[in-house]
Structure 1
Amino acid sequence: MKMNPLGRTGLMVSELCLGSMTWGTQNTQDEGHAQIDRALERGINIIDTAEMYPVNPKGPETQGRTEEIIGAWFAKSGRRDEVILGTKVSGEGYGAVRDGAPISSATIREAVEGSLKRLQTDYIDLYQLHWPNRGSYMFRQNWTFDPSGQNTAEVLDHMEDVLGALAREVERGTIRHVGLSNESAWGTAQWLRLAEAGYGPRMASIQNEYSLLCRLFDTDLAELSMHEDVGLLSFTPLAAGLLTGKYQGGAVPDGSRMSIVSDLGGRVTDRVPGAVQAYLDIGERHDLDPVHLALAWAAQRPFMASVIFGATSMSQLDRALDASEIVLSEAVLKEIDAAHRAHPMPY
Structure 2
Amino acid sequence: MKYTQLGRTGLKVSRIVLGTMNFGPQTDEADSHAIMDAALDAGVNFFDTANVYGWGENKGRTESIIGNWFAKGGDRRDRTVLATKVYGNMAGDGPAWPNHDRLSALNIRRAVEASLKRLQTDYIDLYQFHHIDRATPFDEIWQAIDVLIQQGKILYAGSSNFPGYKIAQANEAAARRGMVGLVSEQCLYNLAERRVEMEVLPAAREYGVGVIPWSPLHGGLLGGVIRKQTEGGRRASGRSAEALENTAVRAQVQAYEDLLAKHGLEPGEVALAWLLTRPGVTGPIVGPRTAEQLTSALRAVELDLGDEVLTALEEIFPGTGPSPEAFAW
- TM-score by length of structure 1 reads 0.84
Q: Find the residue that maps to 1:85 and give its secondary structure.
A: strand
Where do residues 216-231 of structure 1 align in structure 2 (5 Å cutoff)?
216-231=195-210
CA contact (8 A) 2:8 2:210 kept: no
Aligned-partner SS, 2:69: helix
The letter for the 2-side match of 1:204 is V
Correspondence for 2:325? none
Correspondence 1:232-311 to 2 at 5 A: 232-246=211-225, 258=237, 262-263=238-239, 270=246, 271-311=248-288
Query: 1:89 is matched by which residue type in structure 2?
Result: V
Shift of residue 313 of structure 1?
1.3
The more displaced of 66-75 and 239-248 is 239-248
Q: Partner amino acid for 1:10? A: G
Tell me the distance in 2 between the aligned counterparts of 1:342 and 1:298. Answer: 13
2:148 to 169, 181, 192: 169
Partner of 1:87 in structure 2?
84
Closer/same/farther in 2, CA of residues 340 and 236 from structure 1, 3 Å limit: same
Are the aligned partners of 2:71 and 2:120 in contact in 1 as well (CA < 8 Å)? yes
Structure 1 residues 196 and 257: alpha-carbon distance in aligned structure 2, compared to 1, 3 A threshold: farther
Q: Report the RMSD for the aligned CA atoms in angstroms.
A: 2.6
State how far apart, in whole Å, the 1-side matches of 2:114 and 2:170 are.
Answer: 25
Question: Quick check: 1:27 aligned with 2:3?
Answer: no
Instruction: Kindly tell me the number of residue pairs found equivalent between the two proteins.
Output: 315
CA distance in 1, matches of 2:29, 2:254: 35
- Counterpart for residue 77 of structure 1: 73
Q: How do 1:38-53 and structure 2 match up within 5 A?
A: 38-53=38-53
Relative to structure 2, which stretch is displaced further, 184-193 or 316-325? Answer: 316-325
In the other structure, the counterpart of 1:117 is 117
3-state secondary structure, aligned to 2:304: coil
Equivalent residue, structure 2, for 1:183: 162
CA 1:282/1:201 → structure 2, altered by over 3 Å: closer, same or farther? Answer: same
Asked if the contact 2:58–2:92 (Cα under 8 Å) also holds between the matched residues in 1, the reply is: no
Amino acid of the structure 2 residue aligned with 1:185: G
Matching residue's letter, 2:46? I
Offset at residue 91 of structure 1 (A): 4.1
Q: Is the 8 A contact 1:93 1:102 kept in 2?
A: no
Q: Which moved more, 1:68-77 or 1:271-280?
A: 271-280
Q: Which secondary structure does the structure 1 equivalent of 2:137 belong to?
A: helix
Once residues 139 and 90 of structure 2 are traced to their aligned partners in structure 1, the CA distance between those partners, rounded to angstroms, is: 21
Q: Counterpart of 1:46 in structure 2: which amino acid? A: F
Q: Secondary structure at the match of 2:71?
A: helix
For the residues of structure 1 that align with 2:186 and 2:242, how far apart are their CA atoms? 19
Which ranges in structure 1 are unaligned for 5 or more consecutive residues? Answer: 135-154
Q: Counterpart amino acid of 2:224? A: G
Query: Does 2:294 match 1:317?
Result: yes
Looking at structure 1, the residues matched to 192 and 210 of structure 2 have their Cα atoms a distance apart, in angstroms, of 20
Task: Report how far residue 189 of structure 1 moved.
Answer: 0.2
Describe the shift of the 1:114–1:92 C-alpha distance in structure 2 as closer, same or farther (beyond 3 A). closer
Q: What SS is found at the alignment partner of 1:162?
A: helix
Question: % of aligned pairs identical?
Answer: 38
For 1:336 and 1:30, the matched residues in 2 are separated by 38
In the alignment, structure 1 residue 63 sits paired with structure 2 residue 40: no
Name the CA distance, whole Å, in 2 between partners of 1:257 and 1:336. Answer: 22
Match of 2:13 in 1: 13
| In structure 2, distance between residues paired with 1:230 and 1:164 | 20
Instruction: Provide the residue aligned with 1:329 in structure 2.
Output: 306
Q: Which AA in structure 2 matches 1:22?
A: N
Seen in structure 2, the aligned counterparts of structure 1 residues 309 and 109 have a Cα distance that, compared at 3 Å, is: same
CA separation of 1:94/1:301 partners in 2, compared to 1, >3 Å: closer, same or farther? farther
For the residue of structure 1 that corresponds to 2:296, the secondary structure is helix
Which runs of no fewer than 5 residues in structure 2 stay unpaired?
Answer: 322-329
Counterpart of 2:283 in 1: which secondary structure?
Answer: strand
Matches of 2:244 and 2:145, distance apart in 1 = 37
**What are the superposed Cα offsets for residues 111-133 of structure 1, whole Å, 9 maximum, x if unpaired?**
00010000000000000000112
**What amino acid is aligned across from residue 109 of structure 1 in structure 2?**
R
Q: CA deviation at 1:101?
A: 2.9
Distance 1:175 1:247 in 2: 43
